[in-house]
Amino acid sequence: MAEGMKGFFITFEGTEGGGKSTQINLLAERLRGLGRTVKVLREPGGTPIGEEIRHTLKHSAQNQAMTPEAELLLMNASRAQLVREVIRPALSTGEVVLCDRFYDSTVAYQGYGRGLDLTLVRAVIDFAIGETRPDLTLLLTVPVNISEHRRLTRTAGVSTQRDRFEELDRSFFLRVEEGYRAIAEAEPRRVIVIDATATVEAVCEAVWKCVSARLPRDAK
């Protein structure tokens, strides 16, 4: 987190079907029950501009020819807006900010998954976020075969928007998984790995154990 910020910034990471959204909502509810002021965000998105970029990246029928380079820049355009419009103001007033994905996703998906140069990927990220970094990142992990099963289960018989990323093959997600492992190994203090194959309740308690140990008392 940038110097002078009073809040606490937590990001949730992982491949598809890891239960991030469920766990973020459970954590937000628990924190609010304790009197904390909580901001829940998602990437890409979280602002009017970011949500338009999200549609272009994930759902638009016109995105079939999008290059990895364009994808990288659009992700970080959304992120730059989110950081300045929402995250920094919330942290400056002492709020707890929970974000479904942040820059680790770009390293894993566009760096490892798409094969873009990691030095270039990190340079673009640095430009987008400046000094705004998570205080804690919870990496919810599930094996690729379980991820695939969960994705198919949640969309079976349900009319959902097309998601360009969920159309990618297993080899892509294996590279993403490799990327997340590398991130966790490089920053073990910030990135805490949680086994998301457990029950929702067990994962919730694991999340809370990590958060309660690190959350400062002076956050709202």
**For residue range 180-204, what is the model confidence (pLDDT) as tens digits?**
999 999 999 999 999 999 999 999 9
**For residue range 5-37, what is the model confidence (pLDDT) as tens digits?**
689 999 999 988 889 999 999 999 999 999 999
DSSP characters over 155-175: HTT------TGGGS-HHHHHH
Domain definitions of the chain by residue range: 8-214
Q: Please report where in the chains the tokens 């820049």 appear, as a residue.
A: 73
When the pLDDT of each residue in the chain is averaged and rounded to a whole number, the result is: 92
CA distance 215 to 9: 9
Predicted local distance difference test score (pLDDT) of residue 156? 52
Query: ∠ at Cα 135 (12, 131), nearest 5°?
Result: 110
Q: Which CATH superfamily is domain 8-214 in?
A: P-loop containing nucleotide triphosphate hydrolases (3.40.50.300)
CA distance 109 to 111: 6
Nearest to 107 by CA among 206, 196, 180: 180
pTM: 0.92
